[in-house]
Amino acid sequence: MESGDMGHSKDPAVFSIQHFCLHDGPGVRSIVFFKGCPLRCSWCQNPESWRTAPELAFKAHLCIDCKTCVNACPQQAISAPGHRDLQKCGQCFTCVENCPSGALVCFGKYYTVEDVAEALRPEFPYFENTGGGVTFSGGEPTLFPSFITGLSNRLHKEGIHTAMETCGYFDPETDTRFLSDMDLVLFDIKLFDEPAHLRFCGKSNTYIKKNLTRLAGMAFAGTGPDIWPRLPLIPSITDTTENLTGWAQFLDSIGIHYLTLVPYHNLGGSKRQWLNLPPAPEFSALTDERLGDAAKLLEQHGISCFAPGEEDWVQIDFKTASGNRKVT
């Protein structure tokens, strides 16, 4: 895809492809971040993933006030740097192409399956040598089932392992055959209580629980991918005794006894400013003590806890996961 080509709207937008990653599946991996997410988690660190379309961001600290963007805009939508008439803006991103300081950036570009495969090709030897592969993330990859199926099949032809990170919010009654095209699903769980999930994530968790149960059943039957749940620990929200106990009992009921605990870090605040979004609520950083307490509580309920990148992937058997360094 040529520089500046935003692709075709029938394809999903990707806002980042990261390489040499170690925390999102086995081995060395590349992660493809898709735009579009049905949830609006209060602590989200990737607000640029929310909308499905490419979008303009303005980094005020990089602006040199040269007004090149004002003069370059064919729709005359920019009156001054950082001031854009959304009604006039045609999302052509000519301003981004002409900005000399990098203050204007485009989050997202439309990719075809072949575009993504070619972007990943240089990493194929690392995947083979480390038992790694490609992880689809976002945003929410399940918004694009046909594309995900095509991309996963394309990578499988090259012998590449595929994984998908999902928030789990998709209609369990729709065609979900694309799930069987994955080798591994990293399933994010957040708040067990439905009113709390609605409050902090913007949607009910009914679909999420149904889909997690369904995927566990598929894995048991050998008709679906391996599944590994992950829980972000947000102080006083997801690390409470009630929330951890609720999820521990639920996981046990569907035969899953392992979990990755993902400590919260506040990394998305500046992105919200760039996108002219309201600031995120203030959340305190997770302490080592609270992380250890959460792991101990879960392990008391029979759930083995792991740090990101330290999961015991080879022992995904829906009975136990042990033998690797746990979160303590």
Per-residue pLDDT tens digits of the chain, which is 328 residues long: 333 334 445 799 999 999 999 999 999 999 999 999 999 999 999 999 999 999 999 999 999 999 999 999 999 999 999 999 999 999 999 999 999 999 999 999 999 999 999 999 999 999 999 999 999 999 999 999 999 999 999 999 999 999 999 999 999 887 777 888 899 999 999 999 999 999 999 999 999 999 999 999 999 888 899 999 999 999 999 999 999 999 999 999 999 999 999 999 877 678 999 999 998 888 888 899 999 999 999 999 999 999 999 998 876 753 333 233 234 3
Positions of E strands within the chain: 13-21, 29-34, 55-58, 78-80, 83-84, 104-107, 109-110, 133-137, 161-166, 184-188, 226-233, 258-263, 304-306
Q: What global pTM score does this model have?
A: 0.90
The alpha carbon dihedral of 25, 31, 34, 37 has a sign of positive
Measured between alpha carbons, how far is residue 227 from residues 24, 86, 180 in Å?
13, 42, 11
Residues contacting 101, CB < 8 A, separation 6+:
62, 63, 64, 66
What residue type is assigned to position 315 of the chain?
Answer: Q
